[in-house]
Amino acid sequence: MSTALQDWLERLTEEAQADFEVRNAARDEVLNMSRELIRLCSHAIRAGHRKNRTEAYATLAEADQVVVAMRTLLTPYPDLFHAGYTQDALKEWIEARLTLALVGNEPMPAIDPEIPYATYLNGLCEAASELRRRCLDCMRHGEMDEAERLLAAMDAAYEVLMSFSFPDAITGGLRRRVDQLRAVLERTRGDLTNSLQIQRLLQALESEAA
């Protein structure tokens, strides 16, 4: 083997080893951040369902800081930013932000241009599915107007999401989630219809009794 080739191989080995070590460390760190982000987002959504808006948004603020840290860490490594585990965690973050806005009937958060649209759409799909839980709570408490508002929001999200007929490689598996949302939407619509009919029947009986 020539000296020139030997030198080239040694240089390649050293540079690749150094690069892989740094990337692997960044990957390990972002995996931990991703797990923490998913935990915080789940906690924020649960607090939102309990109508504890202060706790929900305080937890979401913690999640926001994790996202900032992830972006900073991965700025030199865009391939790791777009990796599945990173985007899955960011999807949960989008879901939490959208769920809190929809449940609270608040303005929708601004679209973040650094988040891929596939991640956004999948997060929206899961947020729409998450509304079923709040919708059922409203039915149990006789808050039918609010339940109808939430169902309308689910319906609007579904109508938009079903318009994306691109391969899963482009949309990040959106089609499967939209199919799941359709099933959730139809169950919720049926539950609300039954609740409204029962409510009207009870009101009619009360009117007759009066």
pLDDT for the residue 203 = 65
| CATH number for the domain that contains residue 126 | 1.20.58.2140
The alpha carbon torsion through 100, 46, 172, 79 (nearest 10 deg) reads 90
**Average pLDDT over the chain, rounded to an integer:** 92
Using DSSP's 3-state secondary structure scheme, residue 111 falls into: coil
- Distance from chain centroid for Cα 102: 13
Q: Are residues 122 and 209 in the same domain?
A: yes
Q: Find the helix or strand (DSSP H, E) in which 78 lies.
A: helix 78-81
pLDDT for the residue 205 = 65
CA gap 192, 187 in Å, rounded? 9
- Who wins on pLDDT, 101 or 199? 101
Q: Are residues 142 and 67 in the same domain?
A: no
Residue 109 placed within a domain? no
Structural domains in the chain (count): 2
pLDDT for the residue 195 = 81
Residue 68 placed within a domain? yes
pLDDT for the residue 102 = 96
Q: Are residues 129 and 210 in the same domain?
A: yes
> pLDDT tens-digit profile of 124-174?
999 999 999 999 999 988 899 999 999 999 999 999 999 999 999 999 999
Q: Among the three residues 82, 104, 135, which one is the final residue of a domain in this structure?
A: 82
Residue 105 placed within a domain? no
pLDDT band for position 185 (cuts 50, 70, 90): very high
> pLDDT tens-digit profile of 34-47?
999 999 999 999 99
Yes or no: say if 117 and 168 are a contact pair by the CB < 8 Å rule: no
Q: Which residues contact 202 (CB under 8 A, 6 or more apart)?
A: none
Residue 208 has pLDDT above 80, yes or no: no
Q: Among the three residues 82, 105, 124, which one is the final residue of a domain in this structure?
A: 82
Chain length of the chain? 210
Residue 101 placed within a domain? no
CA gap 49, 36 in Å, rounded? 20
Question: At 23, which amino acid appears?
Answer: R
Residue 92 placed within a domain? no
Residue 146 placed within a domain? yes
Give me the domain span that covers residue 167: 116-210
Residue 103 placed within a domain? no
